[in-house]
Chain A
Amino acid sequence: MRERGGQILGSERLRRSLIRVGAMAGKETLHILRDPRTLYLALVMPVLMLFLFGYGVSFDLDRIPVAISDLDRTEASRALVRTVTGSHELVSAGEADAAEADRLFRRGRVAAMLVIPSQYGEKLARRERVSLQLLVDGSDVVVANQVLSKADALVRAETRRLASVELAGPGAAAAPLQVKLWTRYNPASLSALFMVPGLAAYILAITAVLLTALTVAGEWERGSMEQLFASPVGRLEIMLGKLAPYLALGMLELLLVVAFGAAVFDVPVRGSLTLFLVIGFFFLVGMLGQGLLISILTKNQLVATQAGTISSLLPSLLLSGMVFPVENMPWPLQLLSRVIPARYLVHALRGILLKGNGLAALWPDLLAVAVFAVLIVAFSAARFPRRLA
């Protein structure tokens, strides 16, 4: 097999190169299969995370405990308490004195306390304006905001109820102005439908970047990369061969997340599955390239983990819009989020799965992940050492 390069036809060279890439990929696949713990973790993790995010990460609160301080103790004040705590949204956590509010908040027993003033009933009978005080534990922002809006709506409902009782007759006509809300794409406002597409991006970012970074950095640490350099396999062939099995694993994970999301959480697939796979593929190539680059630059698994966590895992969680809306961040972070490929994937997957968007709406996202993939792979190839130092 000692022919000179010039004497072999181009197609023959390509064929041999592909054989070498195949051999590298085969070797890497064997590595993964011989130690099934990695494979197991890589496939169990997406399913576990899907369940956790789908069931665990939700912002829809009901049955928020509220303490009641009723200084009036009349039939009128009890009626108010019934309206406010009778729904499943706020529940009474018992009577308490306003002075106790602080202690109850510190122990996390209640989220708010409703104070009904003395002479509440008399004032109502005189058709006056009555001010009710709501003490709110503001430390938990999500709960505080929901208590505020729910209590406001419930007190408004009580005002309407009082009006309809007082003015039984012509004045009790329906409210003259009504609002009809029509929520598209996710009519039940389920957090899971919001989370699952974002989760796909997050899982891919973790698996692709960290697994590649760790496996290639491991070759440097153990010195087996030197042995590969001594073989006839070229640099590009090493890169392609190492990445191919992880590419396949990543695509498998992507399909797994969507299949489980559809089966367990009823996440729809309204758009084109082909477009979904194409965008996922380019995103995955970019993430694998990033993992490779990290391993080339660090050559150390412990450091590669941290670099991967900071450059991919955290941005994919925090700056991708997966959980926290990008539009509300300070502008430096919004700018930073533009170079995070997960941001485009999250947007594209939500568009495809929930809205049924096509290429016409999503081409900027496709372009962004493709450009990132090309740039990072080219940069890794350039930084891949030609020989040992």
Chain B
Amino acid sequence: MSSLRRPSARVQLAAVFRKEVRQTVRDRRMMFMLIAAPLLQTVVFGFAADFTVDRIPTVVLDQDGTDVSRLHARRLLADGTLRRVGDVEGPAAADAELDAGRAAAAVILPRRLAADLAAGRPAEVQVVLDGTDPNRSVVAGATAAQYFGQVGERMSREKLSAAGIAPPAQLVLTPRISYNPTVVSPPYMVPGIAALLLLVVTTIVTAMGLAREREMGTLEQVMVTPIRPTVLLFGKIAPYVVFGFVDVMLLVVVGTWLFGVPIRGPLPVLVTGTLLYLLTTLGVGLLISTISATQQQSFLAGFLFMMPAVLLSGVMSPIRSMPGWLQAITWVNPVRHYAEVMRSCLLRGAGFADLAVPMAALAIIGGVVFAAAVLRFRTRLG
């Protein structure tokens, strides 16, 4: 009569795991969304999410029209941050270019600029900026201010030398940039993207997958089998842990190969961080599936969790630029800590000792969320 005995938990777990993996692998569309979609998104994200601002379209209004004013206009636009798209005749025309969006900056060189500079009279250059995109207008403004500031400094030193006075000391800042000497976006963005994609692949898929089973009534059918709810739960989510790891590995490989993301830290740090993070993302997916009746609702709830988690993670914009109360909230955000682990480990070569704080945070958040999810799931099924 041994065949009638309830199979051990291990056998049950293996059976559910096998069934889930088969069901997923046989569904070509599921495989696409678990493996190919994250890769596609990494590539697009890596190229698109770039904060570098250059080639800002600029018009020049040269009211002086001398060799000196033309020289300054040319030198200002020489380094490529500002790109000359044309010259205009008057201030109204400059405004019109900005209104129409054909230019984002207008440099106005005043009448008698050359004469004033030669005579040592103060002159004022005006720069009109399209402030729609603050990032762009700040860079354009800083470029102009820096160029004319240097010109002014050089001229006053020359004036002093000519008058026979030794010019005062000059400070020069020589930056030495570690980890990412050319300050390009992809090596920084790509590790952060891993945190976002794991959310989609694990949280949304688990939440919707379970809601779908509930909708179709297959969850009830499984419940009449001897499989215990906890075993069912672990068997169902275990494949996603595997898929999550595969995705992270693929992402790191693509990041290294396509975007030059370095791998400076120890691999066990990445593995531990990912495992702790998956605990949270899968736990949230489970929790959502227990509070929603349909797939549509579970998607919306998943989205409602994802949106703040992504925006307050520091992946897209620095956490330091948020108001203080919002910075405090980001401490309970698992995406923030995982992005920090990924970035610090890959780029800065940080180890367990350096990342003790985010790792501990991930472990606590993951433990609480997962325990809550398991409890709720058991009550719902029991």
Do residues A52 and B125 form an inter-chain contact, with CB atoms below 8 A?
no
Give the complex CA separation of A171 and B167 in angstroms: 9
* Interface residue? B183 (CB, 8 A): yes
Among B174-182, B232-240, B251-259, B366-374, the stretch that binds chain A is: B174-182
Do residues B172 and A131 form an inter-chain contact, with CB atoms below 8 A?
yes
* Interface residue? B48 (CB, 8 A): yes
Do residues A127 and B167 form an inter-chain contact, with CB atoms below 8 A?
yes
Do residues A176 and B131 form an inter-chain contact, with CB atoms below 8 A?
no
Q: Mark B120-160, 1 if CB is under 8 A from A, else 0.
A: 11111111111111111110011011101101110110011
With known contacts A106-B344, A177-B152, A329-B48, A183–B129 Cβ distance under 8 A: yes
Task: Report which of B44, B135, B179, B308 forms a contact with A318, defined as CB distance below 8 A.
Answer: B44
Among A6-14, A157-165, A377-385, the stretch that binds chain B is: A157-165
Q: Which residues of A contact B303 (CB under 8 A)?
A: 45, 206, 210
The minimal Cβ–Cβ distance linking B204 to chain A, given in whole angstroms, is 7
Do residues B322 and A56 form an inter-chain contact, with CB atoms below 8 A?
yes
Q: Mark A273-311, 1 if CB is under 8 A from B, else 0.
A: 000000000000000000000000010111101100110
Q: Which residues of A contact B128 (CB under 8 A)?
A: 182-184
Do residues A162 and B136 form an inter-chain contact, with CB atoms below 8 A?
no
- Give A189-214 interface residues, CB cut-off 8 Å to B: 189-191, 193-194, 206, 210-211, 214
Do residues B153 and A175 form an inter-chain contact, with CB atoms below 8 A?
yes
Give the complex CA separation of A303 and B31 in angstroms: 11
Among A18-26, A66-74, A137-145, A239-247, the stretch that binds chain B is: A137-145
- Give A31-81 interface residues, CB cut-off 8 Å to B: 35, 37-38, 41-42, 44-45, 48-49, 52-53, 55-61, 63-64, 80
* Interface residue? B263 (CB, 8 A): no
* Interface residue? A250 (CB, 8 A): no
- Give B194-230 interface residues, CB cut-off 8 Å to A: 200, 204-205, 208-209, 212, 215
Q: Mark A335-350, 1 if CB is under 8 A from B, else 0.
A: 0000000000001001
Do residues A324 and B50 form an inter-chain contact, with CB atoms below 8 A?
yes
Q: Mark A311-326, 1 if CB is under 8 A from B, else 0.
A: 0001000110001110
Among A226-234, A254-262, A353-361, A367-375, the stretch that binds chain B is: A353-361
Residue of B37, B152, B175, B180 with highest tally of chain A CB at under 10 A: B175
With known contacts A106-B354, A302-B212, A328-B55, A184–B131 Cβ distance under 8 A: yes
Give the complex CA separation of A101 and B215 in angstroms: 56
Q: Which residues of A contact B179 (CB under 8 A)?
A: 105, 137-139
* Interface residue? A30 (CB, 8 A): no
* Interface residue? B295 (CB, 8 A): yes
* Interface residue? A167 (CB, 8 A): yes
Residue of B nearest to A53 (CB): B311
Count residues of chain B with CB under 8 A from any CB of chain A.
Answer: 119
Do residues A329 and B50 form an inter-chain contact, with CB atoms below 8 A?
yes
Give the complex CA separation of A171 and B132 in angstroms: 40
Do residues B50 and A328 form an inter-chain contact, with CB atoms below 8 A?
yes
With known contacts A52-B308, A218-B295, A301–B212 Cβ distance under 8 A: yes
Do residues B204 and A133 form an inter-chain contact, with CB atoms below 8 A?
no
Do residues B178 and A135 form an inter-chain contact, with CB atoms below 8 A?
yes
The minimal Cβ–Cβ distance linking B304 to chain A, given in whole angstroms, is 6
Do residues A184 and B98 form an inter-chain contact, with CB atoms below 8 A?
yes
* Interface residue? B63 (CB, 8 A): no
Interface residues on A, range: 35 or more
Q: Mark B95-127, 1 if CB is under 8 A from A, else 0.
A: 100111100000000000000010011111111
Give the complex CA separation of A138 and B343 in angstroms: 12
The minimal Cβ–Cβ distance linking B119 to chain A, given in whole angstroms, is 10
Do residues A325 and B136 form an inter-chain contact, with CB atoms below 8 A?
yes
Do residues A176 and B171 form an inter-chain contact, with CB atoms below 8 A?
no
* Interface residue? B9 (CB, 8 A): no
Do residues B156 and A57 form an inter-chain contact, with CB atoms below 8 A?
no
Do residues B295 and A361 form an inter-chain contact, with CB atoms below 8 A?
no
With known contacts A56-B312, A162-B169, A145–B183 Cβ distance under 8 A: yes
Give the complex CA separation of A303 and B24 in angstroms: 12
Number of A-B contacts (CB under 8 A): 359
* Interface residue? B187 (CB, 8 A): yes
With known contacts A176-B152, A355-B132, A133–B169 Cβ distance under 8 A: no
* Interface residue? A187 (CB, 8 A): yes
- Give B307-331 interface residues, CB cut-off 8 Å to A: 307-308, 311-312, 316-318, 320-323, 326
Do residues A328 and B53 form an inter-chain contact, with CB atoms below 8 A?
yes
Give the complex CA separation of A59 and B318 in angstroms: 7
With known contacts A167-B160, A182-B127, A324–B49 Cβ distance under 8 A: yes
Do residues A37 and B155 form an inter-chain contact, with CB atoms below 8 A?
no
Residue of A nearest to B201 (CB): A306
Give the complex CA separation of A64 and B124 in angstroms: 31
Do residues B178 and A137 form an inter-chain contact, with CB atoms below 8 A?
yes
Give the complex CA separation of A206 and B307 in angstroms: 11
Task: Report which of A58, A107, A137, A180 forms a contact with B354, defined as CB distance below 8 A.
Answer: A107
Do residues B169 and A128 form an inter-chain contact, with CB atoms below 8 A?
yes
Do residues B188 and A181 form an inter-chain contact, with CB atoms below 8 A?
no
With known contacts A129-B172, A130-B170, A177–B125 Cβ distance under 8 A: yes
Do residues A179 and B160 form an inter-chain contact, with CB atoms below 8 A?
no
* Interface residue? A5 (CB, 8 A): no
Q: Mark B278-303, 1 if CB is under 8 A from A, else 0.
A: 00000000000000111111011101
Do residues B311 and A106 form an inter-chain contact, with CB atoms below 8 A?
no
Q: Which residues of A contact B4 (CB under 8 A)?
A: none
The minimal Cβ–Cβ distance linking B377 to chain A, given in whole angstroms, is 19
Q: Which residues of A contact B98 (CB under 8 A)?
A: 184
Task: Report which of B52, B178, B326 forms a contact with A56, defined as CB distance below 8 A.
Answer: B326
Residue of B nearest to A320 (CB): B48
Give the complex CA separation of A137 and B48 in angstroms: 23
Do residues B141 and A181 form an inter-chain contact, with CB atoms below 8 A?
yes
Q: Which residues of B contact A351 (CB under 8 A)?
A: 101
Do residues B350 and A107 form an inter-chain contact, with CB atoms below 8 A?
yes
Residue of A nearest to B131 (CB): A186
Do residues A149 and B321 form an inter-chain contact, with CB atoms below 8 A?
no
Task: Report which of A124, A163, A179, A182 forms a contact with B145, defined as CB distance below 8 A.
Answer: A179
Closest 5 CB pairs of A and B: A186-B131, A138-B180, A189-B134, A177-B152, A138-B177
Chain B residues with CB under 8 Å of chain A are 29-30, 32-33, 37, 40-41, 44-45, 47-55, 95, 98-101, 117, 120-138, 141-142, 144-146, 148-149, 151-153, 155-156, 159-160, 163, 165-181, 183-185, 187-189, 200, 204-205, 208-209, 212, 215, 292-297, 299-301, 303-304, 307-308, 311-312, 316-318, 320-323, 326, 340, 343-344, 347-350, 354
Extra pairs beyond A45-B300, A105-B348 (13, CB < 8 Å): A38-B297, A56-B312, A130-B170, A131-B172, A183-B129, A184-B128, A184-B129, A184-B131, A186-B132, A301-B295, A305-B299, A325-B136, A357-B101
Q: Could you show 8 A-B contacts with beta carbons less than 8 Å apart?
A: A61-B318, A127-B166, A141-B185, A155-B171, A178-B125, A319-B44, A328-B55, A361-B101
